Amino acid sequence: MTLAEGVQLVSTIILSVMMIGAAIGVVLLSNIVYSAFLLGGVFISMAGLYLLLNADFVATAQVLIYVGAVNVLILFAIMLVNKRQDFAPMPKAWVRRGATAMVCAGLFALLSTMVLATPWSFSTTVPSSAGAIKAIGRHFFTDFLLPFELASVLLLMALVGAVILARREFIPESAVTDLQATPLTLPERPRELVPVGGTPSQEESK
C-alpha cells in the first residue's frame, strides 16, 4: 500500500464515521438547532467523500448549495418557527419507534446483501477528475439539454411559489385602494397577533 492509498483509506474512514455520526445526531438529538448544525456536518463530510470519488465540481456545488443555501435556509426556518414547546407525549410512542427501527434495520440488511451479492461490471479505465467538468458541460448542452432547461424553469417556479406561500394573507378587496401608495411593497393585511399559549380550539373558532 502506497502513501496515497493509505491517506485515501484513512480519510474515507474518518469522513464516513463523521457522516454517519452526524446523521444519527440529526435524527436523535432533541434540540433542533444542534440538529441543523449537525446537518451541515453531514453535508461537508459528503463533499469530502465526493472529492474522494474524483468529483471536484459536484463537491464544490455541494458545499455552495447545501451548506451555503439549504442549511442556512433551515436555520432561518428554525428561527422563524421557534416555539420552545414540549410536544404532548403520545401513548404507545415506543411502539412506533421500535417498529420503525426494525423496518429500517431490515431495509439496510436487504440493501447490503443486494449490494454484496450483485456482480458489478467495473470500468477498466482509471478514473480521474481531469476532464470531468468538460464532460458535465457537454452533457448539459447536448443530451441533457431539456432537463437542464426544465430545472431552471422549476427553480423559478419554486422561487415564486415559496414567496407566495410564505407571505401573509391578501388584504380584502375593499381596503386595497388606500394602501397602494407605497411602491415596491406588496399590500398586506396587518397581522393580528396570535395570543401566547392559545389552544387549537380557540384558533379554529376564530
Partner 1 sequence: MQLQYFLILAAALFCIGIFGLITSRNAVRVLMSIELMLNAVNLNLMAFSNFLDSLEVKGQVFTTFVIAIAAAEAAVGLAIVLAIYRNRDTVDMEQFNLLKW
Applying the rule CB under 8 A, the residues between 17 and 56 that interact with partner 1 are 19-20, 23-24, 26-27, 32, 35-36, 39, 42-43, 46, 49-50, 53-55
Of 162, 176, 179, 186, the one binding partner 1 by CB under 8 A = 162
187 binds partner 1 (CB under 8 A): no
Q: Under rule CB under 8 A, which residues in 166-185 are in contact with partner 1?
A: 166, 168
- Number of neighbouring beta carbons within 10 Å of residue 46: 21
Q: 61 or 179: whose CB is closer to partner 1? A: 61
4 binds partner 1 (CB under 8 A): no
**CA gyration radius for the chain?**
25
Gap between the Cα atoms of 134 and 156, Å rounded: 26
Distances (CA, A) of 135 to 55, 138, 142: 12, 5, 10
Angle CA(181)–CA(186)–CA(190) in degrees, nearest 5? 85
| Among 11-19, 170-178, 180-188, the segment contacting partner 1 (CB under 8 A) | 11-19
Of 3, 4, 90, 181, the one binding partner 1 by CB under 8 A = 90
7 binds partner 1 (CB under 8 A): no
Of 10, 112, 175, 187, the one binding partner 1 by CB under 8 A = 112
136 binds partner 1 (CB under 8 A): yes
Q: In the complex, what is the shortest distance from the CB of residue 166 to partner 1, in angstroms, rounded to a whole number?
A: 4
Q: In the complex, what is the shortest distance from the CB of residue 114 to partner 1, in angstroms, rounded to a whole number?
A: 9
User: Reduced to 3 states, what is the DSSP secondary structure of residue 142?
Assistant: coil
Which cell numbers hold the place of 90? 403520545
75 Cβ contact partners less than 8 Å away, ≥ 6 residues apart: 33, 36
**Number of residues near partner 1 (by CB under 8 A):** 84
139, 151 Cβ separation under 8 angstroms: no
